[in-house]
Chain A
Amino acid sequence: MVYNITLYLSLSICVFGLMYRIFRWFSLSIGPDVEGESAAGRMRTACKTMLRFFFSRRILNFLKIFFVDSLFQTRLFQTSKARWLFHILLFHAFVLLVFMHAMDDQITRVLFSEYESTLNPFMFLRNLFGILVLLGVVFFILRRIRQKPFQKATNRTDLAAILILSSILLSGFLLEAVQIFSSPIFDEMVLEYMRTDDPEETAPLESYWAKEYGVVFPKAVDIGQPERISAGQMIHEENCASCHSRPESAFVSYPLSIHMRSFARALNSIRADIWLHYFHFIICFIGLAYLPFSKFFHMISIPLNLMIRNGESRPEEDDPNNAVKRSIGMDACTHCGVCSLHCSVMPIYRVTGNPNVLPSEKLLSVKKIASGKPPDKTGWTAVSDGNFACTDCFRCTKVCPSGIHLHDLWQASKKELERRDHGKSDQLIRKRSASQWEGLFEKYDIPGSPDPDDLLLRNMAPETFSACVQCTVCSNVCPVVSLPVSLSSPEITPQQVMNLLRLDMKELAMGSRMVWDCMTCYMCQEHCPQGIRVADILYELRNMGADRLQKVRLMESVSSEKKADSDSASERNKK
């Protein structure tokens, strides 16, 4: 009863969850190129493509991807042999457990008429598969602990997956161990198969089972008399042997059961076997219901992602299915973190601590934006900085075991951020004049919070620029200063920047066109007769400006969010 209710409940949650996840593939949107397409329109295009596809020769390639890349996980093999080994054992052992053990009535019994869960090879295999899955789980836990970047990155979904999987396995082993020494189960079985509860008749069998099968009875059973044991053995062979292999075959649960013998009587008296049984199937059903919302969804999304990518190295720009492909790609991420380990700009993360620099974490933010929500507590500024720190090295895309085209996603997310006014600092700085920025920069120069890494701003010390005699050589050789006014009016020239520093007005310089349009060609520095590091100073003013701009953006986005909230609230009130 409880079993059926929970089963159907979790099954329906699972089905609806899957439908929801699949629908999301058509509604998520990242990148201006796919903006404005309706979910229905995307579905129609996808259906058309699929139909055309099924009647083309490419379907053969599809099958190859399914069997080779999905079942044998070749991409993971290329990434790490150890991870591949443990993952493939975990995955295949788990699938076999589901088919052989969880769905024994539907599958195993149909295939093998003599099937009993307590018979070999099924009992042995169940233990084998179980321990393989558990080994895999332990391996993945250790990997997360041992590899520094993952410690911090491990999130709730990762923990939930590990927790559910290990609970299923541990409760299963525990259940079997408790069942082995359970005298109430023994009594039930005797009643059912021997059709007797006469203690005289069952006493030899009790002795035999206590000795050979590890059952623990409420009262001590005599196992010292050989005649009694052999009498028990005869009854056993007549009634029980056809359904029971030796318990040692349960090579995990039986030793566990032996270690637990001292608590056996207490556990038997409270019928721990029944409670554990409930726990075991309920946790399995929770896993089933949670599947579409969990990390385990990658069982569906990864093969699908590999198939729709169909081995293409770069997505075609005008592919009408790009939006859907990107969404499925985002769903295929298991947050395994391999991309981040290979990320070319990892040192930036180490210095700034901005998780959005790392592809595995950036993807989480991009996914949130794609579903129309603002990014997490890190905020737009961090997401923008992380996205624009990428140097297009493609390494994440190459190593991703799920075959996600991450680079295409980053191209799209960068454009999306620009569209939403969260572009590069360079774009934002151009929106105001130097003197307007000066006001804002001064406002957000929070005392006590030094500019980051002021340690490196050595060139800003007075002795570095005080030697300037305003000879204007730097400005004369500067290619930016020489530009026609129509292209850029640098507002101030390099030698004026030096003067501003002397006047302690660096905030005015920090937002100026001169600082942000500097070509970094180092002409000024090379030519300075006083040996002043002019270009280095401009670099550092830009660093400081970028940092101060971050603060301004953070404060402004907070206030604009508040404004948006109050706007939507007042709109609701009007309605």
Chain B
Amino acid sequence: MKFLFFAGCKIENYLKQYETSSRAVLNELGVELIDMELNCCGYPIRHQNMVASILSAARNLAVASKLHLDILTPCKCCFGNLKYAISRLREDAEVRKKINLFLEKEGLFWEEGVQVKHLLSVLYHDIGLNAIRTRIKNPIQGLKIAPHYGCHALRPSRVVQFDNPLAPTLFEELVEVTGAETVSWSRRLECCGNPLWERNNSLSLYMMQKKLENAQDAGADFICVACTYCQIQFDQVRASQPQNTHYGLPSILYPQLLGLSMGLERDVLMIEKNVIDSQHLTRYCRSYHQGVNEQRSKGGKNG
């Protein structure tokens, strides 16, 4: 399995641990990632200029099409915008013409064909829960996780086709495969607040706060996300606010959680890089380390 890796602008300098842990997990599961210099997905400029946003996305899609590769992105906003651009290009011939006029100048062309996939959809649909299950070496035990879906992957469902928009189960299933438990919380499908960060901060923080309260009331130990912006919001933005509470409920990136249960190295998971301390996550599987190792050595002898 081979994909063009679309990291997004922020990941390398603001959330390196998401990139390294995603790469490590995918590598372990036999997915090959191709790297290219790509441009912004067009999500940030969508607030201001739709054509610029669609061109940004289309240029990446055209590059992928030239390479005959599908796109895999760990960021839900990148995912959402690339999908959204495809839907606009698909349904409107005039838009398509206009965008292709821009692309032609660079020897590129957009046409239907390139698939855009989010990290979670690749794990769930392309690799499958069963394949993942066989790689779990240190199942997480006794940890309660509140999976946060992220708006732009889930909606508009007609465009993104990620999962059932009203009652999705994909993320819960992926979390449970690691051995962790999931809690059911009413705000799981709501916005993390980041789209309004640096645009209307008090509102953005309020949205996050509400979610955190809700997850904590549901009994979660951790929030789990699979989006660059959501994690920046739940971790870095939250930590930058002195009056913020709920530090007992850190946010963990899904590939960090999965990687831990797969027994991947510390230095690729980089759990210590999360600003709000999530180190105690390892406690939920450390007790298991020994047992697993013993089992494995027994199995080795038998085999």
Interface residues, chain A, with chain B CB atoms under 8 Å away: 148, 342-348, 350-352, 385, 389, 391-395, 424-426, 430, 452-453, 455-458, 479-480, 483-484, 487-488, 516-517, 519-523, 525-526, 533, 535-536, 539-540, 542-543, 546-547
Q: B151 touching A522 by the CB < 8 A rule? A: yes
A521 to B45, CA, bound (A): 16
Most buried by B among A352, A456, A546: A456
Q: A479 touching B207 by the CB < 8 A rule? A: yes
Given A391-B40, A393-B9, A394-B12, the answer on whether A347 and B55 have CB atoms closer than 8 Å is: yes
A542 to B50, CA, bound (A): 10
A-B contact sample (19 more), CB < 8 A, given A487-B202, A525-B156: A346-B39, A347-B102, A389-B45, A391-B9, A392-B9, A425-B48, A453-B51, A455-B98, A456-B88, A479-B191, A487-B206, A488-B200, A517-B203, A523-B155, A523-B190, A540-B50, A542-B47, A542-B48, A546-B48
Which of chain B's residues have a CB closer than 8 A to the CB of A543?
A: 47-50
B contacts with A, residue count (CB < 8 A): 49
29 contacts between A and B (CB under 8 A): A342-B37, A346-B39, A347-B39, A347-B40, A347-B55, A347-B59, A348-B40, A351-B52, A352-B49, A352-B52, A392-B13, A393-B10, A453-B50, A455-B98, A456-B51, A484-B206, A487-B206, A488-B200, A517-B196, A519-B195, A520-B152, A521-B191, A522-B151, A533-B156, A535-B155, A536-B156, A539-B50, A540-B50, A546-B48
| Cβ 8 A contact of B47, one of A351, A452, A546 | A546
| Cβ 8 A contact of A348, one of B52, B151, B198, B199 | B52
A457 to B157, CA, bound (A): 21
B179 within 8 A of A: no
A540 to B53, CA, bound (A): 12
B288 within 8 A of A: no
Q: For the complex of A and B, list the 4 residue pairs with the smallest distance between their C-beta atoms, beginning with the closest.
A: A522-B155, A393-B9, A391-B9, A521-B151
A546 to B39, CA, bound (A): 23
B165 within 8 A of A: yes
A240 to B145, CA, bound (A): 95
Q: A519 touching B40 by the CB < 8 A rule? A: no
Which of chain B's residues have a CB closer than 8 A to the CB of A346?
A: 39
Q: A455 touching B94 by the CB < 8 A rule? A: yes
| Cβ 8 A contact of A392, one of B10, B37, B54 | B10
Given A351-B102, A519-B207, the answer on whether A525 and B49 have CB atoms closer than 8 Å is: no
Which of chain B's residues have a CB closer than 8 A to the CB of A389?
A: 44-45, 48
A383 to B118, CA, bound (A): 35
Given A391-B40, A392-B13, A394-B12, the answer on whether A519 and B49 have CB atoms closer than 8 Å is: no
B255 within 8 A of A: no
Which A residue sits closest to B55, measured CB to CB? Answer: A347
- Quote the shortest CB–CB distance from A198 to chain B (angstroms): 72
Which of chain A's residues have a CB closer than 8 A to the CB of B157?
A: 526
Which B residue sits closest to A531, measured CB to CB? Answer: B158
Q: B102 touching A350 by the CB < 8 A rule? A: yes
B56 within 8 A of A: yes
- Quote the shortest CB–CB distance from B156 to chain A (angstroms): 5
| Cβ 8 A contact of A455, one of B40, B95, B151 | B95
- Quote the shortest CB–CB distance from A32 to chain B (angstroms): 16
B92 within 8 A of A: yes
Which B residue sits closest to A345, measured CB to CB? Answer: B40
A413 to B22, CA, bound (A): 34
Q: B155 touching A525 by the CB < 8 A rule? A: yes
A400 to B187, CA, bound (A): 45
| Cβ 8 A contact of A483, one of B59, B151, B206 | B206
Most buried by B among A342, A351, A517: A351
A56 to B254, CA, bound (A): 46
Q: B165 touching A526 by the CB < 8 A rule? A: yes
Given A453-B49, A456-B51, the answer on whether A426 and B199 have CB atoms closer than 8 Å is: yes
| Cβ 8 A contact of B49, one of A452, A480, A533 | A452
B125 within 8 A of A: no
Q: B156 touching A526 by the CB < 8 A rule? A: yes
Which A residue sits closest to B157, measured CB to CB? Answer: A526
**CB within 8 Å of A: which of B143-174?**
151-152, 154-157, 165-166
Chain B positions 196 through 225: 1 when the CB is less than 8 Å from some CB of chain A, otherwise 0: 101110110011000000000000000000
